[in-house]
Every structure is written in structure tokens, then in C-alpha cells.
Chains A and B, each alone.
Chain A
Amino acid sequence: MKMKALIKKHLLEIIIIGSILLIALLALLMINLAMPKGDYVVVIYDKVEVERYPLTAEISKNLSYEDNHYNYLIIKDGKAFILQASCPDKICVKQRPISKVGQTITCLPNKLVIKIVGKTSTVDMVS
């Protein structure tokens, strides 16, 4: 009985948070299902595309565009990830390998975005 009263009292907030969760879960599902596998790994430094590698290649490359700033990019088995980086938080290193169109690895301190694109899509060079 007490539980019922509690739910009734907080019904509105339960509905709001519940629907946010539902939408988030659906969106997550759609993102995972709808995304086709990408073809290229694009490296964007300071909003400009600087490198482009095919996702099928086996590449290990040190990306360094400023002194003392680097991100070590690995492309292997159709997936891209950062092995090592100079940034303090190491968030880019901890991110999972990416392979689907639209997925990104971002390193905010180094102004670097690693992005997966398909064959047809191009990254906006001018921004």
C-alpha cells in the first residue's frame, strides 16, 4: 500500500524519466542497427581533415600536430582506436574501437577527432 502511494505521488517524475530512458534506449538501438560499417578512418585536427586511411588497412601511426601533443592511432581488423595519447584524461585511449559510420573518438585536449565515414560521405573541409 505504501509503495502504491509512493508511486502515485511521484507518477509525473517517473513518467518523465522513464520516457527519457526509453527514448535513449531506442535511439541507442537504432544507432547500433542502422549504422553501416564504414570505409575510411578520417583524422580531423582543429576542424580540418588531415588524414584519411582505409579501414581495411593495418596502420599504426603517431598523430602529432603540436609539440608535445600526440595520439597513437591503430587501425586493425577493420577497427580504429587510440593506443596511447599525451592528453591528461586519456579518454580517447579508453574509448572502444570504432568501425561504424558516424562513430567518433574525440580527444578534446589535442583538438583531434577520429571519425569513421562511408565511401560516399565526405567531411566538410570548410567550416
Chain B
Amino acid sequence: MKKEVKKLSLLAILIAISLVFSYVDSLIVLPFAIPGIKLGIANIVIIYTLYKLGIKESIIVSLLRLILSSILFGSLLTFGYSLAGAILSLTLMIILKYKTSFSMVAISILGAIMHNFGQILVAIILMDTKEIILYLPLLAITGTISGIGVGLLSVLVLKYTKGLELN
């Protein structure tokens, strides 16, 4: 029972932190912005949850973050984009974590690229403009850069929260 309460509180805290990170993400827009370029620091929380708590919990945090951040800082439209990106990205990260020995940085990079890929896919379908795919190469590069940063930060966060175990 105590463990359950602890887990519930931890999940709530994680969702709250990821929301703050989403907000910071939406504030920092790079000057040469093309749709979809973001720091993606909210992914630190998702990676943390995936490594610390597991698949089910990471899905919960990811989905609730999406729904809440769309209500608070976005719109129904941004929800659609982010949802496709988040589902693809999280699925890939889960597969990579459990089926390969990939490092956290690599998983973060590939997750970021997959997130961009999902958003582009939805944009192409919604806007019916296939030229949007031309953004993909640039997004893959920026995704790699931000993915390295997010991955390294996730490594650090996990290292310094070692004492906080769930029992």
C-alpha cells in the first residue's frame, strides 16, 4: 500500500515536471525556426520514467503530459501532431531499451528523430502538402543535436537520483 502511494505521488510529480519542461520547450523557439524544432527537454522526464519505473508508467506520463500541455499551452491541432510524434517516439524508445543494449544517449537521439518523423507525417496528411517532407533532413539533424543533449542530461539525472528508490 505504501509503495502504491509512493508510486502514485512520483508519477504525479513526474507529470508536473514534464509539463513545466513542455512549457519551457514551447517558450524557446530557435530563430531559424521551421515547424517542429524544439529542445525536447520534456523527453528527459519520459526517459527517466522509462528507465526508473517501466513501460506502463512511461506511457501514462507521456500521454498525460501530452493531453495537459495541449490544453494548457496548445490546441487540438498541436495535440494531433504531438500525439503521433509521442507514440512513435515512445514505441521506438521502449523497443530499443528492452531489445537492444543501446545507450541512453542513442535512445534519446533516435526517439527525437522519430518524434519529428511522426509530426511531419501528420503534417503531410493534414495539410495535404507532400513538400513538407523536405523538412525531414533538417529535422533529423536538429533532432540528433537536441537528442544528444537530452540523452546526456537524462544520464546525469538518473545518476544523481540513485538514492530515490521506490521501496
Nearest CB in chain B to that of A88: its residue: B75
Instruction: Map CB proximity to B onto A91-124 as digits: 1 under 8 Å, 0 otherwise.
Output: 1001110000011101011010101000000000
A20 near B113 with CB under 8 A, answer yes
Instruction: Map CB proximity to A onto B44-83 as digits: 1 under 8 Å, 0 otherwise.
Output: 0000000000000000000000000000000101100100
Which residues of B are found within 8 Å of A23, using beta-carbon distances? Answer: 137, 140
Q: Which of A10, A94, A106 contacts B127 (CB 8 A)?
A: A106
B127 near A108 with CB under 8 A, answer yes
Which residues of B are found within 8 Å of A102, using beta-carbon distances? Answer: 131, 134
Stretch at the interface among A25-33, A54-62, A65-73: A25-33
B157 interface residue per 8 A CB criterion: no
Which residues of A are found within 8 Å of B110, using beta-carbon distances? Answer: 16-17
Which residues of B are found within 8 Å of A28, using beta-carbon distances? Answer: 137-138, 141
A47 interface residue per 8 A CB criterion: yes
Give the docked Cα–Cα distance between A108 and B144 (Å). Answer: 24
Q: How far is the CB of A104 from chain B (nearest CB, A)?
A: 5
In the complex with contacts A103-B131, A108-B123, A96-B137 CB distance below 8 A: no
The A interface, classified by DSSP as helix, strand, loop or mixed, is mixed
A21 near B131 with CB under 8 A, answer no
B9 interface residue per 8 A CB criterion: no
Interface extent on A, as a size class? 20 to 34
The size of the chain B interface, using a CB distance under 8 A, is: 32
Nearest CB in chain A to that of B34: its residue: A95
Give the docked Cα–Cα distance between A113 and B134 (Å). Answer: 14
Give the docked Cα–Cα distance between A106 and B33 (Å). Answer: 12
A89 interface residue per 8 A CB criterion: yes
Give the docked Cα–Cα distance between A47 and B26 (Å). Answer: 27
B132 interface residue per 8 A CB criterion: yes
Give the docked Cα–Cα distance between A16 and B78 (Å). Answer: 30
Q: How far is the CB of B139 from chain A (nearest CB, A)?
A: 8
Q: Which of A10, A17, A96, A115 contacts B129 (CB 8 A)?
A: A115
B32 interface residue per 8 A CB criterion: yes
Which residues of A are found within 8 Å of B34, using beta-carbon distances? Answer: 91, 95
Q: How far is the CB of A72 from chain B (nearest CB, A)?
A: 17
Chain B positions 99-150 with a Cβ under 8 Å from a chain A Cβ: 100, 102-103, 106, 109-110, 113, 123, 126-129, 131-132, 134, 136-138, 140-141, 144
Q: List 7 A-B contacts (CB under 8 A).
A: A13-B103, A24-B137, A27-B137, A106-B123, A106-B132, A108-B78, A108-B126
Contacts beyond the supplied A91-B35, A103-B131, A108-B77: 8 A-B pairs with Cβ under 8 Å: A13-B103, A16-B110, A21-B141, A47-B127, A90-B29, A91-B33, A104-B129, A127-B128
